[in-house]
Amino acid sequence: MMQVRLGRCGLTVSRLSLGTVNFGGRVEEEDAHRLMDHAVARGVTLIDTADIYGWRVHKGYAEEAIGRWLAARGRRDDVVLATKVGNPMSEAPNDRGLSARHIVAACEDSLRRLGTDWIDLYQMHAVDRSVGWDEIWQAMELLVAQGKVRYVGSSNFAGWHLAAAQEAARARHFVGLASEQCVYNLVTRHPELELVPAAEAYGLAVLVWSPLHGGLLGGVLRKLAEGTAVKSAQGRAAAALETHRDTLVEYERFCQDLGRDPAEVGLAWVLARPGVTSVVIGPRTPAHVDGALGALDKPLAADELARLDELFPPVGNGGPAPEAWLS
């Protein structure tokens, strides 16, 4: 699988990343280990998790499962390990957010659960408006200096948050952010307005989560008719289904005419977007991994991309803001 630079950084990552949000509750540990074996064997190098993942069992479960896999396989040097900090881990008032206290303590906890000495990419899971950037960067600088974190990333930020973070880091002579992880797919195209342009301007990698909008773009109508819908029958996919039903009928017909699975087409579209570094998939089976690889092996043609733009138009006039809003 193609390896690409993590934005302006020297680290390389695979174009597809293995997301672990399903570990625990949807994917049992033995199956999770097989998934990681299968993905790494096919060239996936970036494994993405978070301290809260596995909450259906208990928070931290996904990191623990990954840690046991790393210990059993001895593959630590073969993967780029990314996790996240910021969401509440307990009811304790200081066991959440991006205070210096929580960032450092949460990193230590993640290292213990993962059974590793370092985290390759430590991502802030969400914006914490109550904490200033000097405090956040002080904590991250400490972890980098201690060798416990190699690169820092963000997730679910706005474009102006990226700018604020990088300007504050620059004032401290710190590298700052290496990446931003955002939701981006045919249904959710707002990152094109300001987030992706901001990331490109600052040399940040863009990692995409929910490329199929929780299964909405993975053939949801067919699966519902067959009674095989799992993830696509709940969450953000279910909430958006009625709004986009007519378009999804056309989308699934278009995919059928191409002779390709809708999930493969949806992933191929995201992989073709300017500025996108890697797409985080959340497979439950090795077959899901192989299906995602098809999106890499067979890019969409220009006329196919144009048809998808017709079905799922960009925001406003298309392109970045402010031009997207101008008549």
Q: Which residues are catalytic?
A: 53
Phi/psi at 97 (nearest 5 deg)? 75, -165
How many whole angstroms separate alpha carbon 271 and alpha carbon 208?
A: 9
Can you spell out the DSSP letters for 195-247? HHHHHHHHT-EEEEE-TTTTTTTTTHHHHHHHT--SGGGSHHHHHHHHHHHHH
In this structure, are residues 148 and 180 in contact, taking their beta carbons and an 8 Å threshold?
no
**DSSP, res 250:** H
Of 106, 87, 97, 165, nearest to 133 by C-alpha is 165
Q: Residue 105: how many CA atoms within 13 Å on its side-chain side?
A: 12
Can you spell out the DSSP letters for 256-312? HHHTS-HHHHHHHHHHTSTTEEEEEE--SSHHHHHHHHHHHHSPPPHHHHHHHHHHS
